[in-house]
Structure 1
Amino acid sequence: MKKLLLVSLCLLVLSLTQVFAQNRTITGTVTAKDDGQPIPGATVKIKGTTTGTQTGANGKYTISVPAKAILSFSFIGFETKDVVVAGSDKIDVVLSTSARQLNEVVVTSLGIKRQKGELGYAATSLTSKDVNQAKPVNVINGLQGKVSGLNITTINSGVFEDVKINLRGIRSLLGNNSPLLLLDGVQVPIGYLSSLNPNDIDTYSILKGSSSAAIYGPDAVNGVIVITTKKGSPNGKPEVTLSNSTQFTSISKFPKMQNEFGSGDYGGYVPYENWSWGPAFDGSTKEIGVPFDDGTPTQTLKYSALPNEKKNFFNTGSTVINDISIRTGATYLGIQDANIKGIVPNDKNRRTGIYLNTTQDYGPLKVTAGVNYKQYNYNVFDDNAMSDYNAANNVGLNGGLMNLLFNIPANVPLTRYKNINSDPYASYNGYFTNYGLNPYFALDNWRQFGKREDLIASLDLNLKATDWLNFTYRANMTSNTVTERHTSNGVIPNKMGIDRGFTSIPETVSERAYKYQQLFSQFFASFNKTFAKDFKVTAIVGTDLRQRDSRDTQVGTTSLVIPGLFDISQRTGNLTGSSDFTRDRLFSIYGSAGLSYRGWASVEVTGRQDKTSLLASANNTFFYPGVSASVLLSEAIPALKNSNTLSYLKLRGAANKSGSVNIAAYGLAATFSQANGFPYGPVAGYTANDRTYDPNLKPEFVKSFEVGFESGFFKDRVTLEATYFHQDNTNQIIPIQVSNATGYTSYQINAASFVNKGVELDLGLNPLVKIKDVAINFKANATYNDSRVNSIYPGLDQLAIGGFTNFASNYAVVGAPAFVFKATDYLRDDQGRVIVDANTGYPTADPNVKQFGRTMPLWTVGLNPSFRWKNLNLSMVFEYKGGHYVYNDIGQAMAWTGVGAATATNHRERYVLPNSSIADPANPGKYIANTNVTLSNVSDFYTGVYRDVASNFLTSADSWRLREVSLSYDLPQSILGKQKIIKGLTVGVTARNLFLWVPKTNIYGDPDFTFSTTSGSNFGVNGSNVSGVADSQINPATRTIGGNIVVKF
């Protein structure tokens, strides 16, 4: 028995020795294929077992494995790789980037790159290719329809294409609602977005909520657009790219005109009438205009409609852009020249720019310096000056260029009247009507010449103290300089003009010099270290200082002496003018701390304290915190790993409080301006500002939270992302009327509050179809954005925002969305029918304005299908906006002069007003349907009560449009041949706003082209809060079609 036990023990020891003799120790390094850097925290596991280890900070690992084992290497964001253990004891592995979107790099706080999977808030990343596919003139247009939560509205289709931008709606009733622009980690005013050359930009990150405000500051309360520009060549080899884009611009939607009736009033023909209330066209020959007193024959024309004369007044515009970029190992140089000619005759803008960026490493210190300079030279029609003159002299309809066109009946050959100096029928004195100006004369007489210079200069010093600690200092200067001259050639009427009642137009000149400058200095330390293999800790602590200066000086005269010499020194009388200077400062300290566990669970807290010069010392310091978290369920739950269906699943959430100060510099101080009529000789006179502020004014605050998920299926061929956001906007700074006895008319206080909430959805099908050389991809985004006003002020339930006062304006109304229209309407009965007079058929305007629908979209949708067949690429962007209204002020003008299509209803025969009622004679106070009482005089109706009722011109702003189309072809190497000079050549055609679909009731224009409360040289991104108002100073909406070529060397 003892011998048997001894033999058994020997056999056991022998077998164990055999087992351990078969195990081997394997070492190696795991690196990333993209950059060759080590991957810390990568999992190294013996496949089919639970035995494994993780790589250290240097990417190295050690593991004991049996013979012929299979090692599985994995890390979040990388493809898993299996390696069979063979003869070597050292196995180095290179992991390739996964297609998973969670590995997508997003530029976030202070320009620091992070993987999207770590973020607890919504962010969208775009590449230069995504934005530039249709060759937009500026980057703003290239973003339209491609980002959920982003709403971009065009407010000018001229040579500047001004826009208004909102992310997730608004956070302030009367203050700033534009997002912050972050350029290479430095805060830059949002207006500079229009100055950036799209070809100089590498990536875009859109941070939609206010979660980043705790790091970026008060300007980030409305979201952040993070832009990273191109740097030196990634492979160190020189790269040269030449490109040309030539585009042609034409009108995409023009107001619908009537072509049945011509010059005259009340059905009778009047040859010099600007009204179109004359008789129906009959093809007869009629005189037009008035007799000349110098023997010039009176013009005679066929009395027929010329349907396209008003539309043909506008030119086909053009934009020619030439670019060259040079990239070396450390330097990027981009030069652009853009020559833009507008649809308004003689309007032009020349934009020239240069961008230079260079990076040098000095051991652990990396130095990056950049300069971006743009110069605009423009010559445009001064619409505001003409409108001011017309209003002062009661000349026709005084609201702008479009109103001049509405003063022209359809039988008048407008486009013949271009030669104002040589054609007597086009001259100031000989123009056909007594009640309006020749549009060509107006374009020539009132001009605005200017030069704008934008400069962004930056310096970035980054010291890598250790592998886990960095120190960064940034200095940045942005400046915007505008020099302008506004001129009026002036004219003195001759005897014929005087007999017609024409007055002299003075020869005037005014000059403007404007300069805005921002200085920004920032220092922060960033910490990033992995502990115990499983925990990664990140932290930021920093401070920044911002100073903003602006000076606006204007001087002019209305009494020049020498015709054609626009020199303010040759004048009679006093100069007019003003000079304003402002300065404000913001000092901030901030920090963040984040913890990540095994790459699948992350949490981050942030905090920032600001001290602003805009508020009184007792309230000028305020703190706001934030927290965000995310968890990758597809990594945290073993059962979800390596699923053939679910690629990834992430849950995220964020909550924060942020503050902003929406008052101007010196808003709390008493300010004075020169009074009218002064100086009077040696006597100066000043008037006080009519608005005062509560000295205890505090910042506006936004408390927001968001929750969402991100998911991918079938190896990310299908991706779906959804976010719910809620923003509670309090402490709104609003004006309250006060007694004039106080010396002021309004008093600014913290009072109103409103809620803004919504849902964002993003869908990707990449590829939707893949068959050999054919690939079809599809992306879609949708946003639902609602709001509700909770309170205004005790005793007040509404606040006027802007528009046409007491006619059609934006309002904030308690219980309603921010904002809604309040507009004039007809008196109506209980069933909503228009009450008309039982004898005349005329309705009556309600003396009280009524509330109508919202002014901003409730829904926005973007669809982006793309197709690829070999080297041929086709991409499209469709965009929908809906659930809101637009007020078309041009409708009122078109009704007055009788050119609008609505004025030809029933061929101007008497008719029963639709949906109308009359008083019931048998039941006083009751109304019955009107079936037979017709309008007694159609022209009186349209020139009277119809145009006084704004609801007639309120239409649905719903629209579908083909926003963008791009077709390009990459020449294959077989065509380029064996030559080594040209490395790539792409040719393409593009179009923007190619097709538009709107409801039939919208006979006026594109609802996406709406009102701006600023004008002149304040182009770029407009900060007006007024929405959905289209007036006659807006040019018609446009489309562009063109071609391009890109050559790489």
Structure 2
Amino acid sequence: MKRIFTRIVFLALLFVSSWAVAQNTTITGRVTDAADKQPLPGVSVTLNGTTTGTQTDADGKFTISAPANGTLTFSYIGYANQDVAINNRTTLDVTLTTSTKAIEQVVVIGYGTQRRRDVTGAVGTISGAELTKQPVQTPTQALQGKVAGVQVIGSGQPNSQPQLRIRGTGSVLGGANPLYVVDGVLTDDIRNINNNDILSIDVLKDASAAIYGVRGANGVVIITTRKGKNGPPVIRYDANAGFRELSNKLQMANREQYISYLRDANPGDVARDQSPLTYPGTTDWYDAVLKKGLQMSHNLSLAGGNEKTTYFFSANTFTDDGLIKTNSFDRYSFRSNIDVKITDNLTFGTQLSLSRSNERPVPLDGVYSNVYRAAPIIPAIDANGRYGNTSLWGNLGNPLLSLDKTINQTVNNRVQGNVYLEYKPIKSLTFRTAFNTDAYWNKQRNYNAQFNADGNTFTTAGGSQFNNFSTLFIQNDQSFRSIWDNTVTWQQSFNKHNITVLGGYTQEYIKTDLFSGSRRNVPQDPDLWYLDVGNPEVGASYANNGALFRRLSYLGRVNYSYAGKYLFSASFRADGSSRFKEKYGYFPTVGAGWVISEEDFLKNSKVISNLKLRGSWGQLGNDNIDQGLFITTATLNLPYFFNNSLNLGSAIQDIKDPNLKWERTTQFDIGLEYGFLNNKLTGEIDYYNKKVRDALTNVTIPGILGDPDGIYVTNAASYQNTGVEFAIKWSDKIGKLNYSVGGNINYNKNKVVGLNGGQALVGGGIGNQGSITRTDNGQPIASYYVLQQTGIFQNQQQIDAAPTYNLNGYAKSVGGMMFADVSGPNGTPDGVIDNYDRVFSGSYQPKYYGGFNIGLSYESWDLSADFYGNWGNKIYNGRKAFRANGNDNVEANYVNNRWTPSNPSNVDPRVIAQNLPASTYFIESGSFLRLNNLTLGYTLPADLLKRIKINKIRVFAASQNLFTAKRYNGFTPELFTSDILASGVDLNGYPTTRTFTFGLNVEF
């Protein structure tokens, strides 16, 4: 009886399931744009209430199996979602309209996402599609001019990471760079990220970054990489290739100009014709050491999935040979993003990035910098194939020889990624645990070859230029960072209320190890570049060190909205760090918003589409200091005499503050977001006030305490950035022409508001000019502090009437510089020109910076142009200021404009010699406007491609830095330096490049 019953039940279930299957219908259709009727490829088509779905092909067509009474949902980025009831139909043609509600965009806010309309903080967003328009190595380069309040300082040097300043410089000794978060992985370096893998970048500019506690004081850049979608596999191939060249070449003095200058600067030494003055040619040293460099990128990706598993894989190669002849860089990267739905409420996922790079960097300091100073009367390579000996004339090495004989190699291997598990016991509750890691292994080899001039086998140069022995330096360093995140999120909507509550804790572990050593007399064969091959008894050195520190953090956040128009948010984070004696710091934030356009009196407005007022306040931290900065240590094995014998002992030589604490930033922000005319015109305005207190600075201590430097680091400074951001964009279409014009500009005022017992910080030293910048009360960080030039002495009468000079050997002379007598030891003019007369003369920090962008598309053609610039900043021309001796070369325009009896200039002195004092003469305007990117593309017609089963083919031509309008006389007004106190001092910067590339985008 039981067996019969079982069979009956089985047959009944089989009948029901067969009936259900029979009700499924194969539905075909086509999706087009409602405006121009063009097909839309890649539209997501899903059965409502399930995960079953597909995507449209290149012609906008789709096929799906679904119940005859079901509903299909059509979704596509930039378009409004549309639900279509099947109603027993087998063919559905659907048109999608462009979404006019940009405020529905979802942004990443840290440990979660939020609709942009509900965000109470200042968040800037840029899509991956915008980034890939620019063929650059790092995504931060492509951010330039795109996000209000974000200043990007780039460099032409391959494998350099651009510097980001979000709403000004907020620290000096504690670091001013933002935190980067890549798919949940916290990092300080994103040079391993392939631009084609990025879905979006969200920049937390205000107190909303406080969710990251001690890492958020300088802002947070959140990078989200691509994932697969439910649908057939999509294969993409993206490639570009081109070359880089010098964008702005300095015109140095030629042979005739140089000799004319020499006879004025050193009349006794060049009064007669002598070698090398007899060399008939002119050497352009920039031509001798620079080249056109290849730049190339290839990227292949595969994405797809089903209702259980989605995947995204990509592989990329990137090559950048740079501009300097011995420079080169290659990077290889692989990414795997997989999400698996184990059950309806349990999801498992991984994001993994592997990269390897090979680089041959160039020594800019002391090698490439000599190109500016080398005499043009010396050949780079003479008629006998020997390097020209510049050391006989100017006391510096042949730059080309130095580059060829200095062989630097760096190999970097990096693994970055995470594994997560997400569990939803009920629809409103999500538990998530994720293990994130970021690890790298670097190997560096620097080899300086032996060369001399005595005729032996190492002969490469004449005269006195030589290197008696080869030197090999090797450094191996590695770092491992792991972060374990555990969060729980509860989200619920009822009536007009919507609330999201987040809670969790994270653990972070970072360990670094470094070993380095050097040996002399290592053979030239690269296969023998090992420390045990060289001479262990002469010039050998070794170092082995590392660091270990941990963080433990607790975090919570509440986001609430009522009726979609009244918004509130609050977060709190407690951070514990092993870098401080007082382990924990606490960082709160609150925000509120009012969506005015949702009020009844504006809800049906035909003019105002979106109007939101928001504000936020919060405190953020910065623990970016050396691990043992607060720990007092003793120096071992110090020699001393006792009882007439030499002994070894220990002593405390560094005085440290055991009570060091976080640099704490308090930031207030108020903003207005707007959209008019159906959101054709959109933008936002923000005012912010960001004050840093307890900032690290140097304090002088009495020498009797035993510290050899006479200073110790403590929390005794305060800095402030206040500013206004403005962004605007207009998007519309005229017939088949779609266009958009947008821009942003930021005004920022930076100043030191209190050193609180600390001493002014100085930096940017140039030869015997001493320090150039001074960070002091009431001034911007790293302000120039120099003498004020007032003119040129024209005659002896002016010299006799001028104050006395006490300037390290610089004397008054006809054709020499005049300076203002500003102050003396007592604060009043004293008739003496010395260091008391230095004055603040601007800084590298711009008062205004921003960019504007133009986008056009007509049928199959697209054109985009991106501009970037800043205004109100100054640059110190350190190249011109640094003079090793009177035989250094000079710029051609200086030779033509300098003071002579027949050209009584009141600006340029007769001679720029070694002992010329630091003054406003070397300060120039840093304002510029650059065409950052220009791209022209053509997409082949879909009707043509569908015959060969290709979804898309686009070809394009692009140029980076096509032109720059500037007033600065150097290579570029955009200066890259890791030393904040030397910002704006142009001394050894890599030359700025112009890039021309051609590319291809193919999708199958």
TM category (shorter chain) comes to 0.7 to 0.9
The residue type paired with residue 564 of structure 2 is: G
Q: Is residue 761 of structure 1 aligned with residue 726 of structure 2?
A: yes
TM-aligned CA distance change 1:695 to 1:158, over 3 Å: same
1:697-721 deviation digits (Å, cap 9, x = unpaired): 2211111110011111110111121
For structure 2, the 5+ residue unaligned runs are 1-42, 51-77, 88-93, 641-645, 802-812, 820-832
Q: Give distance in 1, aligned partners of 2:662 and 2:784.
A: 28
* DSSP 3-state at the match of 1:663: coil
* Contact 1:789 1:815 survives alignment (8 Å): yes
How big is the shift at 1:362? 1.1
Letter matched to residue 991 of structure 2: P
**Counterpart in the other structure of 1:943:** 913
Tell me which amino acid in the other structure corresponds to 1:238: P
CA contact (8 A) 1:425 1:432 kept: no
**Contact map agreement 1:807 1:823 (CA 8 A) in 2:** no
Q: 1:218 to 1:868 in 2, by over 3 A?
A: same
Q: What is the alpha-carbon distance in structure 1 between the residues aligned to residue 44 and residue 335 of structure 2?
A: 31
Q: State which of 933, 957, 975 in structure 1 corresponds to 2:944.
A: 975
- Identify which range, 703-712 or 432-441, moves more after superposition: 432-441
Give a deviation string over 1:334-389, Cα, whole Å, max 9, x none: 101112212111211111110111110011111111210110112233445xx3xx
Tell me how far apart the structure 1 counterparts of residues 746 and 892 of structure 2 sit (CA, whole Å).
35
Aligned to 2:995: 1040
Higher deviation after alignment, 1039-1048 or 660-669: 660-669
Q: Residue 444 of structure 1: SS of its match in structure 2?
A: helix
Match of 1:468? 428
Contact 1:959 1:997 in 2 (8 A): yes
Which letter does structure 1 place at the counterpart of 2:433? Answer: Y
Aligned-partner Cα distance in 2 for 1:276–1:202? 67
Distance 1:167 1:464 in 2: 37
Deviation at 1:724, TM superposition (A): 0.5
3-state SS of 1:140 partner: helix
Q: Which position in structure 1 is the counterpart of 2:200?
A: 203
Please state whether the residue corresponding to 2:216 is helix, strand or coil.
helix
Q: Name the SS for the 1:975 alignment partner.
A: helix
**CA–CA distance in structure 2, aligned partners of residues 197 and 439 of structure 1:** 34
Q: Structure 1's 1037 and 687: CA in aligned 2 closer, same or farther, altered over 3 A? A: farther
- Going from structure 1 to structure 2, the CA distance change for 1:944 and 1:430 (only over 3 Å counts) comes to closer
Q: Describe the superposition over 1:207-252 as per-residue Cα deviations: whole angstroms up to 9, x where unpaired.
A: 1123221x222111211111111111x2421011112110210011
Q: Does 1:355 align with 2:335?
A: yes
- 1:487 is aligned to 447
Offset, 1:910: 2.1
Deviation, 1:453, is 1.0
Kindly state the Cα deviation for residue 432 of structure 1 after the two structures are TM-superposed: 7.0
Letter of the 1:159 counterpart: P
Q: Which has the larger radius of gyration?
A: 1
Deviation readout 1:501-526 (Å, 9 max, x if unpaired) = 44543211011001111110010100
- Residues 629-683 of structure 1 show CA distances to partners (whole Å, capped at 9, x for unaligned) of 1111111x212112111111111010111222242112121346788999xxxx9
Give the match for residue 749 of structure 1.
Answer: 714
> Structure 2 CA distance, aligned partners of 1:35 and 1:167?
40
SS of the residue 1:891 aligns to: helix
Letter in 2 for 1:949: A
Q: 1:125 is matched with which residue? A: 125
Residue 905 of structure 1, CA deviation: 3.5
Closer, same or farther: CA 492–269 of 1 in aligned 2, 3 Å = farther
- Cα pair 2:372 2:879 within 8 Å, conserved: no
Q: Distance in 2 between matches of 1:905 and 1:434?
A: 21
Distance 2:328 2:191 in 1: 17
Which has the larger displacement, 355-364 or 891-900? 891-900
- What TM-score, normalized by structure 1, do the two folds share? 0.78
**One-letter amino acid of the counterpart of residue 999, structure 2:** N
Range that drifts further, 579-588 or 950-959: 950-959
* Whole-angstrom CA distance in 1 between matches of 2:584 and 2:625: 15
**Once the two structures are aligned, what percentage of the paired residues are identical?**
21
Distance 1:462 1:1009 in 2: 45
After superposition, the CA RMSD in angstroms is 3.5
Q: Is the 8 A contact 2:488 2:502 kept in 1?
A: yes
Contact 2:630/2:659, CA 8 A, preserved across alignment: no
Question: 1:197-276, aligned counterparts within 5 Å?
Answer: 197-213=194-210, 215-232=211-228, 234-259=229-254, 261=256, 264=259, 268=263
Partner of 2:27: none
Residue 320 (structure 2) aligns with: 340
Paired residue secondary structure (1:188)? strand
Distance 1:1005 1:593, change over 3 A: same
Aligned residue in 2 for 1:366 = 347
Distance 1:323 1:662, change over 3 A: closer
Q: Does 1:381 align with 2:368?
A: no
Aligned AA (2:232): K
CA distances 1:7-33 after superposition (whole Å, capped 9, x unpaired):
xxxxxxxxxxxxxxxxxxxxxxxxx99
CA distance in 2: counterparts of 1:803 and 1:441, whole angstroms: 27
Alpha-carbon distance between aligned partners in 1 of 2:399 and 2:863, rounded to the nearest angstrom = 41
Q: CA deviation at 1:262?
A: 5.0
User: Is residue 899 from structure 1 mapped to residue 900 from structure 2 by the alignment?
Assistant: no
Q: Secondary structure at the match of 1:237?
A: strand
Distance 1:689 1:987 in 2: 66
SS in 1 for 2:678: coil
Cα distance change of structure 1 residues 835 and 151 upon mapping to structure 2, 3 Å threshold: farther
- Structure-1 residue corresponding to 2:816: 842
| 1:109 equivalenced with 2:110 (yes/no) | yes
Counterpart selection for 2:843 from 854, 859, 865: 854
- Tell me the TM-score normalised to structure 2 length: 0.81
Matches within 5 A, 1:719-868: 719-744=682-707, 745-767=710-732, 770-794=733-757, 798-800=760-762, 802-804=764-766, 807-826=770-789, 836=799, 840-843=814-817, 846-848=833-835, 849-868=838-857
Equivalent pair of 2:137/2:159 in contact (CA under 8 Å)? no
Distance 1:235 1:100 in 2: 25
1:822–1:852 contact (8 Å) kept in structure 2: yes
Which of 995, 998, 1002 is equivalent to 2:963?
A: 995
For each residue in 1:738-779, what CA deviation from the matched residue of structure 2 results, as whole angstroms up to 9, or x when unmatched? 122212121222211122111111101012xx2211122111
Cross-structure match for 1:89: none
SS in 2 for 1:605: strand
Residue type matched to 1:869 in 2? Answer: Y
Give the Cα–Cα distance (whole angstroms) in 2 for the partners of residues 913 and 494 of structure 1: 48
Tell me, yes or no, if structure 1 residue 545 matches structure 2 residue 526.
Answer: no
> Paired residues, what number?
877
**Contact 1:210/1:222, CA 8 A, preserved across alignment:** no
Note if contact 2:576-2:584 (Cα within 8 Å) is conserved in structure 1: yes
Once the 2 structures are TM-superposed, how far is the Cα of residue 1012 of structure 1 from its aligned partner? 3.5
Given the alignment of the two structures, is residue 556 of structure 1 paired with residue 509 of structure 2, yes or no?
A: no
Q: Report the AA paired with residue 170 of structure 1.
A: T
CA distance in 2, matches of 1:121, 1:721: 12
> Higher mean Cα deviation, 605-614 or 689-698?
689-698
How far off is 1:255 after superposition? 2.3
Per-residue CA distance 1:811-846 (angstroms, 9 max, x = gap): 3221122341113444789xxxx9745673533564
Confirm or deny that 1:146 pairs with 2:128. no
Please give the per-residue CA displacement for 1:14-65, whole angstroms capped at 9, x wherever unaligned.
xxxxxxxxxxxxxxxxxx99877689xxxxxxxxxxxxxxxxxxxxxxxxxx
Structural mapping, 1:1005-1044, within 5 Å: 1005-1013=971-979, 1024=980, 1026-1031=982-987, 1033-1044=988-999
* TM-superposition CA deviations, 1:376-412 (whole Å, max 9, x none): 112233445xx3xxxxxxxxxxxx3132442122x55
Q: Specify the alignment match of 1:601 in structure 2.
A: 566
Shift in Å at residue 901 of structure 1? 2.7
Identify the match of residue 190 of structure 1 among 188, 191, 201: 188
Contact 1:447 1:488 in 2 (8 A): yes
The 1-side partners of 2:268 and 2:572 are apart by 65
Paired position in structure 2 for 1:427: 387
Check the 8 A contact 2:317/2:333 in 1, yes or no.
Answer: yes
